[in-house]
Amino acid sequence: MPELYVGNMSKQIQQFGYRVPERQGIITQTIPIGGQVRVSPDGNRRDLSTPEIDAILSQHATYGIISVDDVDKKQNAFSGLCYSIGKAISPEKLRRAMLKKEEALSAFGQKIRQEAALAVNSQIEEQVGPLHNLEMSFEEIEPRGGYSDDTDHLAEGVRVSRQVQAGPPIPMTGRRR
pLDDT tens, residue by residue, 87-120: 999 999 888 888 888 888 888 888 888 888 888 8
Percent of the chain with pLDDT strictly greater than 90: 21
pLDDT tens, residue by residue, 47-69: 788 888 999 999 998 888 988 88
Q: Which residues contact 34 (CB under 8 A, 6 or more apart)?
A: 8, 9, 94, 95, 98
The residue extents of the domains of the chain are 4-89, 107-141+151-176
Q: What is the pTM of this model?
A: 0.69
